[in-house]
Amino acid sequence: MTPWATATEQLAALAAGEATSVGLLDACLDRIAALDPALNAVVALDAERAFAAARAADLDRRAGRSTGPLAGLPLTIKDALDVAGLPTAAGDPARVQAVAAADAVAVARLRSAGAIPFGKTNVPLNAADFQTFNALHGTTRNPYALDRTPGGSSGGAAAAVAAGFVAAELGTDLAGSLRIPAHACGVASLKPSYGLIPVAGTFAGIPGQQRAADLQVVGPIARSIADLALLFDVLAGPGHDEAVGWRLALPRPPAGFRPRVALWLDEPFCQPEPAVADAIAAACDALGGRVASVTPVRPPLPAEEFFRLHCVLMYGELSLAAPADTFEYFVRRTARATGAEDFSDMTALLARGLTVRHRDWLAAAERRAVLRAAMAGFFADYDAIVCPVAPTPAAPLDERRLDRRTQRLGGGEVPALLHTFWAAVASSLYLPAVTVPVGLGPDGLPVGAQVIAPYLHDHLAVAVAALLEAAAGGFRPPVIAAGAFRSSAG
């Protein structure tokens, strides 16, 4: 079976007796052994237990015993989610011995559905960057160009799926951590509406954290939109405590529906590069007409004000995870500030977010509620927004500290954090967002489009993404010649 077979295709082959779980797992491990030295995507393996589970799945299938919807499917898990028996280090050398006693709820749901988690994939330190490198496991590279980042923080996850190591992965997203890597690596991802998939057992900066972090979600990465839908149906639903009082009943679009799509590419605050804008526009041109109506429009979201708000909400959430000495440094940095910093002073903005007063955080949350209502009004006229995931394709590898990092955009150097603007929209407003690959740019780097739908309309986002996938052609494998990835774009 080709390494590019989707999860749906692999499961069909298992059901038809054309493949075995042991064979699929063998193929995954062989490919990782051959190609991962160049990528450094996989940081831990649990082959012995995985083979035992695969043999059991094959025996059940041959005996005709009832199996789950993912029975026998091998996959890997982002190293920010607990997998029983494996460390959840989140890139931190101090946590290399932090072996999980139990699966995260989302991992347990995949396992209960028959999937076989057999390894962990790399993340930045504490899963808090959109490039993937750390002192414990090193740097993960992009399978389309080894001098480019796979994104972050689910960078190892997206690279593993794009390289054909696994058909699917499980990751997390707080400010684009599923979507930016999927865009950078040419694969698909689903950031669900906030609260739909339990996050218990997810590293959120504090070991053993019990509180569900604001903005934090768990979701799948795969090479096809159909696989995202399959995994989402397994993952979504109330946690154990909530299940006594509510059940999930998300709306689904009717068969054959013709969505009204708002195409958002014109945004002076964070104008996408032509390579990104052109690929998304071409995909929407192919989408428009018979299967959808597409209207270029800007939603009622004041971009710069919104992004400042997002920084307060995001870094305010992360403040408890900051070490005490780091937090006190930023307290002193904020005390020395003389006014409202602009985006050229990222250290000052980071300091204000991490040390925000509770009163000011409440004001930001209230402003977010106002913007959520405005967007709900916008969605009365449109079913979904199609926009960039990020303003550029995968960025060059850069291991400077985030607040000191810049990138080329609009003919000049801008703070690297602006790379997250487009992903921030769905994150801070709690909206579902699907990343769908829509082509390769002139330099051969992938481009993903982001499909954002109204709150709790996750199935609608998936349906529009499936139409866009069909129009644009979907996943395009990276070039692998003589067992090696290309060393640079071009």
* DSSP-derived secondary structure letter, 25: H
User: Would you say the C-alpha torsion 6, 229, 193, 452 has a positive or negative sign?
Assistant: positive
| In the predicted structure, residue 141 carries a pLDDT above the cut 80 | yes
**Which domain covers residue 218, as residue numbers?**
7-258+436-485
Residue 43 host element (H or E): strand 42-45
The pLDDT, as a whole number, for residue 210 is: 80
As beta bridge partners, residue 171 has: 219
| In the predicted structure, residue 285 carries a pLDDT above the cut 90 | yes
Q: How far apart are CA 264 and CA 294, in angstroms?
A: 10
Taking all residues of the chain, what is their mean pLDDT, rounded to a whole number?
94
Q: How far apart are CA 23 and CA 177, in angstroms?
A: 31
Q: How far apart are CA 6 and CA 188, in angstroms?
A: 11
| In the predicted structure, residue 490 carries a pLDDT above the cut 60 | no
Mark which of 366, 395, 420 sits at the end of a domain: 366
pLDDT higher for 325 or 18?
A: 18
Residue pLDDT, tens place only, 354-371 = 899 999 999 999 999 999
CB-CB contact of 166 with 154 (8 Å) = no
| 454: region left, alpha or beta (phi > 0 left; psi from -120 to 50 alpha) | beta
Range with the lowest mean pLDDT among 124-133, 235-244, 320-329?
A: 320-329
Residue pLDDT, tens place only, 208-228 = 778 888 999 999 999 999 999
Q: Can you read off the two tokens belonging to residue 335?
A: 């005390």
Are residues 31 and 88 located together in one domain of the fold? yes
Range with the lowest mean pLDDT among 63-72, 232-241, 326-335, 370-379?
A: 326-335
Residue 476: give its domain's CATH number: 3.90.1300.10
Are residues 244 and 326 located together in one domain of the fold? no
Q: Is residue 196 part of a domain?
A: yes
| In the predicted structure, residue 469 carries a pLDDT above the cut 60 | yes
Q: Is residue 420 part of a domain?
A: no
Across 19-27, average pLDDT: 98
Torsion from C-alpha of 71, 72, 78, 80, nearest 10 degrees? 60
With H, G, I as helix, E, B as strand and everything else as coil, classify residue 18: coil
Cα 281 to Cα 388, 444, 483: the distances in Å are: 10, 17, 34
| In the predicted structure, residue 339 carries a pLDDT above the cut 80 | no
pLDDT category at 338 given cuts 50, 70, 90 is: low
Q: What is the distance of C-alpha 158 from the center of its chain?
A: 8
| In the predicted structure, residue 1 carries a pLDDT above the cut 90 | no
Q: Is residue 429 part of a domain?
A: no
Are residues 134 and 236 located together in one domain of the fold? yes
The pLDDT, as a whole number, for residue 353 is: 87
Are residues 65 and 120 located together in one domain of the fold? yes
Across 287-299, average pLDDT: 92
Q: Is residue 428 part of a domain?
A: no
| In the predicted structure, residue 487 carries a pLDDT above the cut 90 | no
- 3-class SS shares of the chain: helix, strand, coil, % to 5: 40, 15, 45
Q: How far apart are CA 79 and CA 429, in angstroms?
A: 26
The pLDDT, as a whole number, for residue 208 is: 72
The pLDDT, as a whole number, for residue 488 is: 65
Range with the lowest mean pLDDT among 142-156, 409-423, 455-469?
A: 409-423
CB-CB contact of 393 with 447 (8 Å) = yes
Class of residue 45 by CB neighbours under 10 A (exposed 0-12, middle 13-18, buried 19+): middle
Catalytic positions: 78, 153, 177
| In the predicted structure, residue 39 carries a pLDDT above the cut 60 | yes
Are residues 14 and 113 located together in one domain of the fold? yes
Question: How many domains in the chain?
Answer: 2
The pLDDT, as a whole number, for residue 180 is: 98
Residue pLDDT, tens place only, 444-468 = 999 999 999 999 999 999 999 999 9
Q: Is residue 173 part of a domain?
A: yes
Residue pLDDT, tens place only, 87-132 = 999 999 999 999 999 999 999 999 999 999 999 999 999 999 999 9
| In the predicted structure, residue 430 carries a pLDDT above the cut 60 | yes
Q: Residue 280: name the closest of 199, 390, 355, 203 by CA.
A: 390
Q: Is residue 208 part of a domain?
A: yes
Q: Is residue 291 part of a domain?
A: no
Are residues 81 and 200 located together in one domain of the fold? yes
Are residues 145 and 53 located together in one domain of the fold? yes
Q: How far apart are CA 286 and CA 436, in angstroms?
A: 14
Q: What is the distance of C-alpha 47 from the center of its chain?
A: 25
The pLDDT, as a whole number, for residue 481 is: 59
The pLDDT, as a whole number, for residue 341 is: 59
Q: How far apart are CA 185 and CA 161, in angstroms?
A: 9
The per-residue DSSP string of 318-364 comes to: HGGGS-HHHHHHHHHHHHT--S---TT-HHHHHHHHHT--HHHHHHH
* DSSP-derived secondary structure letter, 247: -
Across 199-210, average pLDDT: 82
| In the predicted structure, residue 484 carries a pLDDT above the cut 90 | no
Are residues 248 and 325 located together in one domain of the fold? no
Q: Is residue 90 part of a domain?
A: yes
Are residues 235 and 314 located together in one domain of the fold? no
| In the predicted structure, residue 442 carries a pLDDT above the cut 60 | yes
CB-CB contact of 74 with 118 (8 Å) = yes
Cα 163 to Cα 102, 368, 419, 477: the distances in Å are: 29, 38, 24, 8
With H, G, I as helix, E, B as strand and everything else as coil, classify residue 214: coil
CB-CB contact of 300 with 375 (8 Å) = yes
Residue 428 host element (H or E): helix 421-428
With H, G, I as helix, E, B as strand and everything else as coil, classify residue 392: coil
Are residues 84 and 205 located together in one domain of the fold? yes
Are residues 93 and 195 located together in one domain of the fold? yes
Mark which of 318, 349, 366 sits at the end of a domain: 366
| In the predicted structure, residue 326 carries a pLDDT above the cut 90 | no
Mark which of 313, 331, 366 sits at the end of a domain: 366
Are residues 334 and 473 located together in one domain of the fold? no
The pLDDT, as a whole number, for residue 363 is: 96
